[in-house]
Structure 1
Amino acid sequence: LLKPLDLGFTQLRNRVLMGSMHTGLEEHKEGLQKLAAFYEERAKGGVGLIVTGGFSPNLRGRLHPLSAEFSKPKHAKAHRVVTDAVHKHGGKIALQILHAGRYAMHPFAQSASGIKAPIAKFAPSEMSERQIKKTIDAFANSAELAQLAGYDGVELMGSEGYLINQFLCKRTNMPYDDWGGSY
């Protein structure tokens, strides 16, 4: 557990990983400075890899109307405080890219189909082929920006019922097209 791990593109000082956890700081005005301090303490303590809480690749993918987004160069620039704080202590950090899909708590939610989540107030709109491709591009853009911000990698949130999982699940992906159907 405490031996280094070579991932090919980077080496972790050990195999201790802090899994993604949404702290609620992501949306606050001074949140990135507080996140930097939070993650810095974990890096000081010896964690090999930290995964951030989820950041949306675009406006429609946000969990809440004011949730954090990671889609513009200004976001990458602002995140340098976070990555620098972790790297200063020999740690590595990955940005989690999360699209809420039907779990979004705003009226602009999009998903694989128009099926409303039991936890959501709003039914999502079913994504068109064009919207799906734009969302894929948004994920790629966020990943590129993460590199600019100094992140050592990204994690795509594809579980727990969020957008990617909604496309993989027969229950939430009803269209019979190139993006849906029976698996």
Structure 2
Amino acid sequence: MSVKLFEPYKLKNITIKNRIVMSPMCMYSCHNEDGKVTDWHYTHYTSRAVGQVGLIILEATAVTPQGRISPQDLGIWSDEHIEGLSKLVGMIKEHGSVAGIQIAHAGRKAVLDGEIIAPSAIAFNEKMKTPKEMSMEDIKETIEAFKQGALRAKKAGFDVIELHGAHGYLINEFLSPLSNHRKDDYGGSAENRYRFLKEIIDAVKTVWDGPLMVRVSANDYDLEGLDIDDYVPFCKWMKEQDVDLIDVSSGAVVPARINVYPGYQVKYAEAIKHEANIDTGAVGLITSPRHAEEILQNERADLIFIARELLRDPYWPRTAAKELGVEIKSPVQYERGWNA
């Protein structure tokens, strides 16, 4: 039986050399609150490309200054960001990895000076700032900001775009009735709560024809919130809009106690894959190569998103290959030590 973790995967018009994805993880490493790539980003992401990760997705990159999670977040709200991002894309691709970027808006979870915005004027918790309820003009401007962010990502040379619709950030806030109490066309019914994401996808696709992914939180972990039964229809709608893959995470739209264990979110990726008939990525405490392989062999997901384990081991693909008995190509500079 072949090892699926190291089989190529075709994502629309892009071929990824294996099924290993570096999950977006904020580095909080920009200087002067300018959102520009720094030397840390060049070192951090390129190391994982040298380590033979198939697809590397940059951390949540804000489409507006107001949409940053923190003042140190990467940005894509200005043409001034393109140069640094383009250099980083080139460094990632030089080592055979596919370059992706997650474009995002933090909504009510932004920890910034000044006004923050959300679907409704409800704070995340008692320690967080109460956001301003978005006007129709705010909604229109934010959708346009996602479109312009996608255009800049294209100019920078990225192969893949992921929209951040998870973890309680702005798109997720519109989807969940826990954070969206609007009475207009963007609130109430599931169709209305989906409208903001729908219009972002439509806008992005006017400037982007490459692979498009969406990260979702498939369970709010709250009796009044959403769960997987609500997300399957959302994901069917995304497929109708030609989204190529759903990156399936969970939680964080409201404070909640979550029982975490290795692969605790895989069941959501599996349900969406088979019930919405769309490819999925599994993420969440997947650290063992054999566990990753089991998920793929049993068709529970199509890609394996590795997060903190890649912080601990930038060469996790090599670790996985050795454990699974697969030989993978090493960087020529490392040949004398790679297979030792």
| TM-score bucket of the superposed structures, by smaller chain | over 0.9
Aligned to 1:84: 90
Match of 1:116 among 100, 123, 145: 123
Larger Rg: 2
Which residue of structure 2 aligns with residue 72 of structure 1? 78
Separation of aligned partners in 2, 1:124 and 1:67: 19
SS of residue in 1 equivalent to 2:182: coil
Instruction: Determine which structure has greater relative contact order: mean sequence separation of CA pairs < 8 Å that are 6+ residues apart, divided by chain length.
Output: 1
Deviations 1:154-183 (A, max 9, x none): 111111111000000101110111101143
In structure 1, list runs of 5 or more residues that go unmatched. none
- In the other structure, the counterpart of 1:164 is 171
Correspondence for 1:147 among 140, 154, 158: 154
Partner Cα separation in structure 2 for residue 164 and residue 150 of structure 1? 25
- Say yes or no: does 1:173 pair with 2:180: yes
Paired position in structure 2 for 1:129: 136
Quote the residue 1:11 is aligned against: 15
Separation of aligned partners in 1, 2:10 and 2:147:
24
Pairwise CA RMSD of aligned residues? 1.6
Q: Rate the CA distance shift 1:119–1:39 in 2: closer, same or farther, 3 A.
A: farther
Task: Report the CA distance between 1:42 and its aligned residue.
Answer: 0.8
In the alignment, structure 2 segments of 5+ residues that lack a partner are 191-340
Tell me if the contact between 1:173 and 1:180 (Cα under 8 Å) persists in the aligned partners.
yes
Residue deviations 1:103-151, cap 9 Å, x none? 0113311000000111753110000111101101101111110011111
Query: Normalized against structure 1, the TM-score is what?
Result: 0.93
1:28 to 21, 31, 35: 31
Q: Deviations over 1:17-63 (max 9, x none)?
A: 111111222x1368532212211111111100011111110122112
TM-score (norm 2): 0.51
Question: Match of 2:65, as an amino acid?
Answer: L
Shift of the 69–176 alpha-carbon distance from structure 1 to 2, 3 Å rule, reads: same
Percent of aligned positions that are identical: 34
User: Does structure 2 retain, via aligned residues, the 8 Å contact 1:37–1:85?
Assistant: no
Cα distance change of structure 1 residues 65 and 18 upon mapping to structure 2, 3 Å threshold:
closer
Counterpart secondary structure, 2:95: coil
